[in-house]
Structure formats: structure tokens, C-alpha cells
Amino acid sequence: MAGDLAGAAYRKDAYYGAVNMGFFRLLAWIFVASGLALLGADGISTIEAGEPVIRTTSEVMNLFGIGISSLESDGAAAGVANFFLNAPLWAVVGILGIIMTLVFRPLD
């Protein structure tokens, strides 16, 4: 009897672990697709303007009403934050998605 309960608990944990991994795999592919869509939007804007248009993370956040600009302070944390704020949003989202697809890939 105790062996059956332990096996049932293991199967339940394995099921919910697989569901969580599936959710993160889906989220990773959504990030990759969003990165490609943002890259395409920058490409179309470049063609329309006739000059390179690259939207940074802070510019896109300002479009959504989240007013974040570069940090004025010195230090490692401010440097990392400024790097991500001044990087193209398609690169930030796309690379996050690629890293997540590698971390949450199915193992056989």
C-alpha cells in the first residue's frame, strides 16, 4: 500500500513538472517570435524612413507609458541596466527566448 502511494506521488510530481516545463517552453518560443516580430518592425521602419531605425528598450517602454531613461549613477548595476535599456528590444527579447529554449528543452 505504501509503495502504491509513493508511486502515485511520484507520478503526480512528474506530471506537474512536465506541465511547468511545457509552459516555460511555450513562453520561450513566444519570446523568440516576439523578438523576430520586433526585428521585422525595425526593418520595415528602416525601409520607410530610408535610414536605419533601431528602437531601444527604453524607447519602446516610453511608448507604453513606462517612463524609464538611462540611469545617472555609476556602478555595476547601473551599467548593466543602462546596457539593457540602450540595447535594441528585439535583441533583448530574442536572446532571452533563445536562452530559455536551450534551458527548457525536452530531454530524452
Q: What is the pLDDT of residues 54-104, one digit of tens each?
A: 999 889 888 888 877 766 777 888 888 889 889 999 999 999 999 999 998
pLDDT of residue 21 exceeding 60? yes
pLDDT on residue 87: 93
Q: Domain residue spans in the chain?
A: 2-103
Do 28 and 106 touch, CB atoms closer than 8 A? no
Confidence label for 48 from pLDDT (cuts 50, 70 and 90): very high
> CA-CA distance, 43 to 54, in Å (whole number)?
8
pLDDT tens across 68-82, in order? 776 677 788 888 888
Q: How far apart are CA 52 and CA 30, in angstroms?
A: 26
- What is the band of 17 on the pLDDT scale with cuts at 50, 70, 90? low
